[in-house]
Amino acid sequence: MANYQPAAAKMQELAQDHGIAVTFMPAGPLMEYNPDKVKQVPTTPAELLAWCKANPNKLIYARPANSGPGRTFIMGLPYILGDKNPKDPGQRLGKTWAYLKELNSCIEYYPTGTGAVMKELGEGSRDMTVTMTGWDINPRVLGIVPKNYKVAPFKGMTWVNDAHYMVIPEGRCRRRRSR
């Protein structure tokens, strides 16, 4: 634990000695956009909703169940919108669920993964997406998204952390005997 940064150590605690956090990052939520198409990047949920309604089908993000950026956006919204208990996805997230329902009115569909989102963004069929650290850089390095695309945070956001864990299911690790 002494090797972990304080925030990464908190993520390691979540593993409850069943795994090891091997990567950690303050993830987002962030907005990634084409600066040639988006002249004034939204920095609040209200601005994002207004932009989305004025530019139907030009905002895209992947299903949160299979997307780090999608999940980070959904997890960060309750903090930005001021819901009572951002860690409780039930009834206490009324502002977030109402906002997402309204935002849905100008989003064509939700791809199954972030790679498809970045492809559409890079090809120019979409102008903006939600992103997180890592996903904002890698597609540009690979040439999927143009290098001049920009990233902006939301005003007053709370960073949603992300980590990846290495885990071996109990009873699955067997020693091999050397011959």
CATH number at residue 70: 3.40.190.10
Looking at this protein, which amino acid is placed at residue 90?
A: G
Q: Kindly state the helix (H) or strand (E) to which residue 154 belongs, with its residue range.
A: none
Domain presence at residue 128: yes
Token reading at 161: 């952390």
Per-residue pLDDT for 89 more than 90?
A: no
> 90-121 pLDDT, tens per residue?
767 899 999 999 999 999 999 999 999 999 99
User: What residues contact residue 7 under an 8 Å CB cut-off, 6+ apart?
Assistant: 24, 26, 161
In whole angstroms, what is the distance from residue 30 CA to residue 113 CA? Answer: 17
Looking at this protein, which amino acid is placed at residue 74?
A: I
Cis ω for the linkage preceding 86 (within 30 of 0): no
In whole angstroms, what is the distance from residue 69 CA to residue 137 CA? Answer: 13
Per-residue pLDDT for 179 more than 60?
A: no
Domain presence at residue 19: no
Domain presence at residue 4: no
Q: Sorting pLDDT into bands at 50, 70 and 90, what band is 174?
A: low
Domain presence at residue 122: yes
